[in-house]
Chain A
Amino acid sequence: QKEVEQNSGPLSVPEGAIASLNCTYSDRGSQSFFWYRQYSGKSPELIMFIYSNGDKEDGRFTAQLNKASQYVSLLIRDSQPSDSATYLCAVNNISFQKLVFGTGTRLLVSP
């Protein structure tokens, strides 16, 4: 079992819709969770992080964490073609001070 799992996609949504990106993790000791966006040929950039159960909102983005189910998700409201990218989920166990990354979900937003 991979430590951090994501559906590779592509996830296709029309412009204006809500995109829902999901991630599961295997280490119950994981304590903080990160979402990165990576455009083709570019390096990942941090969108959000969350470490408490529940929802955390930042503009059009909402991160959701359920530690009991070992599940974290990213919702993108009012999706735009510029949101088309690969989204990486990353998990931090601070004992190790390093992130473990999923392989990413490719999101395609069509006009």
Chain B
Amino acid sequence: DVKVTQSSRYLVKRTGEKVFLECVQDMDHENMFWYRQDPGLGLRLIYFSYDVKMKEKGDIPEGYSVSREKKERFSLILESASTNQTSMYLCASSFPGLSGGYTFGSGTRLTVV
């Protein structure tokens, strides 16, 4: 019973391409998040959203944008892919509140060549 689905497990893109990473959750969560994870650097927050059509920058938003047109879908866009964006990208969702732990998707390993 997969609850947070990321569209691709592995992606290889060329430098300069526009890249779309899709995330869909079926738990009716208000909050959705995009992280990247790199060895030694841990999870770094790119963007997050508390509601449809709203977005907030995380710690490393440069080079990325997001879209949330529907509650269940949160898309990450790499406007012009660069090799330093090669990483594991993780989508997560949660309810707000004390027990608002994240449910993560299975991740997308993106390689930019």
Contact = CB atoms under 8 A, between A and B. Distances in A.
Contacts, number: 56
A92 B96 CA distance: 10
By Cβ-Cβ distance, the 5 closest A-B pairs, closest first, are A103-B42, A43-B104, A101-B43, A32-B98, A43-B107
Interface stretch (A16-24, A44-52, A59-67): A44-52
Given A34-B101, A46-B102, A99-B94, 15 more contacts: A32-B100, A34-B102, A42-B106, A43-B90, A43-B105, A43-B106, A44-B102, A46-B101, A92-B100, A92-B101, A97-B100, A99-B100, A99-B101, A102-B42, A104-B42
Interface of B: 31, 33, 40-43, 45, 48, 50, 90, 94, 96-107
Contact of A98 (B31, B41, B103, B104): B31
A99 B101 CA distance: 8
Interface in A56-88: 88
Interface string A25-49: 0000001101000000011111001
Nearest to A102: B42
Interface of A: 31-32, 34, 42-46, 49, 51, 88, 90, 92, 94, 97-99, 101-104
Contacts of A49: 99, 101
